[in-house]
Amino acid sequence: MDQYGSAKIRFTPPLTVVKGGKLRFMANLQVVNARIWTGDPGQPWAGAVVIRDGRFTTVTPLEAAAAVRDTEKSLATLDLGGAIVLPGLIDAHLHVLMGGESLSKLDLTAVSSREEFEDAIARHHRALPSDRWLLAHGWSEENWGGEEPSKAWLAAAGDRPAVCTRMDLHAAIVNQAVLDQCDLKSDVPGGRIVRDASTGEPTGLLVEGAAWQLVNPILPRPSAEEAQQHLWLAQEHLHRLGVTAVGSMEYQRQIETVYEPLIDELTLRCRLTVLDRDWPIDCEFGRQFPARGHDPAQLAVIGYKAFADGTLGSRTAALLEDYADDPGNCGLLIELAREGHLCDWAQTVSKAGLSPSIHAIGDHAVRLALDALEDIGPERRPRIEHAQQIDPADLTRFAGRIASMQPLHKADDGRYAARRLGNERLTGFFPFRQLIDVGAHLAFGSDWPVVSCDPMLGVRAAVTGLTLAGQVIRPEENLTVDEAFRAYTDQAAYALGFSDLGRIAPGYRADLTVLDRDPWAIDWAQETPRVVRTIIDGHTVMTSG
């Protein structure tokens, strides 16, 4: 078990839903007997709040909180028994539908040997109907010493097509039943078909574009009904973790067939960034989305996303110098970055009134992303997603810019960062502290289902520097608890264009996350708080014993 495995979520019955799926909102109440971290620098702590029509109207300091119960007698009262309360937590970067789907896939994140891998495949194969593909997710060769898996590891699946994605979703291992359906005559631009050195035959490992351009066209797609169920599963899972709003990366067809039909029944606030890999890009869907009449506090399309490179784990993140453990390889520039269209793409998205977001992990890709976004004003909320490795010369360029980062990736990639980068380049690895110091907007998310979407595990990684292996990496970049929570609230809200979320202050929407213990009084290396109540617009959508 890794160092984050002890922080399990204790599940309780789901939120209460009335006929038709709509929630019975109680938007007028007073919350008392609490220690409330507001996220507001002008009044960081409060003891009670009054909510009317789903918004905070009064935020009472700790020393005056006792009088609130008597002055607001007409309101329903929620007594929290002295619990710690935060603004509703916001995940600035994840994949909601993939995350919901992953809850029903074979989970390989805890597999630590080939034997365990093969045993998990065999057991799952036996449990599946004969006409179903075997789909699994979450493996990492770092969990068993670095050996790359091959199609031989999937032998137990027999003739059943099997696809197992790496935890970062930038590589997949497939069996012969899948390879037989793919065109393997040559490598795919921006990707790699791994081949046996002696025979030249594909091993079954497909990296980057090879994984998606070859496999995606033949993968069975969920029906609209199945995808909608994935959204419900994801919403319930996120609410259990105290998440009230998200920035999710989705395809246009998913927005139209899954999100929009369920808009009246969603409680999760969804700001969506469209995944569109075409060039030239057509932004008309995003530009016209407001005319569809949805409440933007509930569902909005805010931008488009492009990819500049791959991932550190797969050695496809684009670096300025070679990988320390793979001389001659400096990663891959992919899609628009490889073709030299990144700047034009960003300008096209911005001129449509939308936010351009660029996946950039290696320092070369980060530099290209900064170049592409340099002339785009902050009102468009241009974002660099991940920004895991930043060359020191580029740090000051983040002043006033959004670094959308995932602290649990630091815990994961931190296990092998020194091997990939060498010790000298580690100064640019997840430079949280340096980014804050230069005036960047540091927004946190999870990238779920790549890693867990539990914000408490993200805070733990940000404030301790602990990797999944239990070592501490780059402790000089550790954040304070306040800074970490701000990245999951106020700064995440800024990144997603919310002007009335992320703080507990008059006029802001009444989203709250209630914890079972004081995060300022614990040793985060030993324990993490647990969410016991999630509130949206003044309505409790999740309670836990």
- What is the pLDDT, as a whole number, of residue 392? 98
- What is the pLDDT, as a whole number, of residue 2? 55
* Other beta carbons within 10 Å of 146: 11
**Positions in the chain short of pLDDT 70:** 1-26, 69-70, 72, 186, 210, 545
- 98-218 has which fold? Diaminopimelate Epimerase; Chain A, domain 1 (3.10.310)
Residues 6+ apart with CB under 8 A from 526: none
C-alpha 326/C-alpha 421 separation (Å) is 10
- What is the pLDDT, as a whole number, of residue 439? 99
Q: Is the separation of the CB atoms in 92 and 402 below 8 Å?
A: no
* Other beta carbons within 10 Å of 163: 25
What are the angstrom distances between the C-alpha of 174 and each of 104, 252, 519? 19, 27, 43
What is the architecture, at CATH level 2, of domain 1-88+504-545? Roll (2.30)
- Is 253 in a helix, a strand, or coil? helix
- What is the pLDDT, as a whole number, of residue 3? 59
C-alpha 305/C-alpha 346 separation (Å) is 9
- What is the pLDDT, as a whole number, of residue 8? 30
**Taking the domains of the chain in order of start, what are their residue ranges?**
1-88+504-545, 98-218
**End-to-end Cα distance, the chain:** 26
- What is the pLDDT, as a whole number, of residue 4? 61
Structure pTM? 0.90
User: What b/e string do you get for 330-350 counting C-beta neighbours within 10 Å, with b at 16 or more?
Assistant: bbbbbbbbbeebbbebbebbb
Element (H, E) at 34: strand 29-37
- 233 phi/psi in degrees, rounded to 5: -60, -45
- What is the pLDDT, as a whole number, of residue 73? 72
